Amino acid sequence: MEHTDFFKLDFWEMILRTTVAFFVLLILARFMGKKQISQLTFFHYVTGITIGSIAAAIASESETPFMDGLVAMIWWAALTILMNYIAMKSKKARVILDDKPMIIIHEGKIEEEALRKARLTLNDLNMLLREQSIFSIKDVYFAIFEVNGSMSVMKRTGLENATKADVKASTKESKYIPTEIISDGELVLENLVELNLTEQWVYDQLKKKGINRVDQVFYAELQGNGDLHIDERTAKDN
């Protein structure tokens, strides 16, 4: 009988804790703002996970003191709101909390130092561009890595909106999908095999551009028409 009473007490305690935690979390979310998931910076993402974890602990772990957990959750949300307010008033605080956008491609040239600071690989860069329906780095004039991890892109002039049908241009299908051939000074051999191209073909293309060594190239990409787009290393890296 005692065991049954204990079980009922524990069950209803969890129901009460969960209900209170749910509505408190709902109220806090309302006060903390309406940013979409895609707009969240890393700071807001971590804060959201932490507050959710505290709420889960309050609801599911009977050994967690109810009031202590509730106070911790509310205080964490209050600190987040305070930091958001400070960031709105101070540009320096905003940079500390959220970092700042970084130019990754400048006038068609990959900024290698910015790529390293953003902790992005060339594969990451290509993935972010493909999410913008851009399959060739050659088509990009400016690319900015935003504080929420997304990429904003300005295409080269003439590539923005008009389709081939609009200008009655040839709609012949491309021979290749734009593919990286050289990444950070090294040949991507598996891509060469897949494209049925040889290393000698790459060397010949580089020589046509006055480039003698593969390690002088930061990035090279095979275009749809079979041409090779080359982005040389900056002078200090050669």
47 with 118, same domain: the answer is no
Looking at 96, 122, 155, the residue that finishes a domain is 96
AA letter at 29: A
10 with 72, same domain: the answer is yes
Predicted pLDDT of residue 46: 82
* Least confident segment among 82-86, 87-91, 111-115: 87-91
pLDDT over threshold 90, residue 40: no
Contacts of 6-13 spanning 24+ positions with Cβ under 8 A: 10/62, 13/62
167 with 180, same domain: the answer is no
**Run of H or E residues at 19:** helix 2-32
92 with 135, same domain: the answer is no
**Is this prediction's pTM over 0.85?**
no
Q: Say which CATH number the domain at 164 has.
A: 3.30.240.20
Per residue in 110-138, pLDDT (tens digit) is: 999 999 988 899 999 999 999 888 988 88
Q: How far apart are CA 236 and CA 230, in angstroms?
A: 18
Per residue in 149-205, pLDDT (tens digit) is: 889 898 887 765 555 555 555 556 667 778 899 988 999 998 899 889 999 999 999
162 with 228, same domain: the answer is no
84 with 29, same domain: the answer is yes
Range of the domain at 14: 2-96
The pLDDT-based confidence of 96 (bands split at 50, 70, 90) is confident
166 with 179, same domain: the answer is no
43 with 75, same domain: the answer is yes
Q: In this structure, what token pair is assigned to residue 176?
A: 């290749």
Q: In this structure, what token pair is assigned to residue 21?
A: 């935690």
Looking at 68, 96, 124, the residue that finishes a domain is 96
Sheet holding 179-183, edge to edge: 186-187, 179-183, 217-222, 228-232
Looking at 125, 154, 172, the residue that finishes a domain is 172
The pLDDT-based confidence of 217 (bands split at 50, 70, 90) is very high
27 with 89, same domain: the answer is yes
126 with 203, same domain: the answer is no
The total domain count for the chain is 3
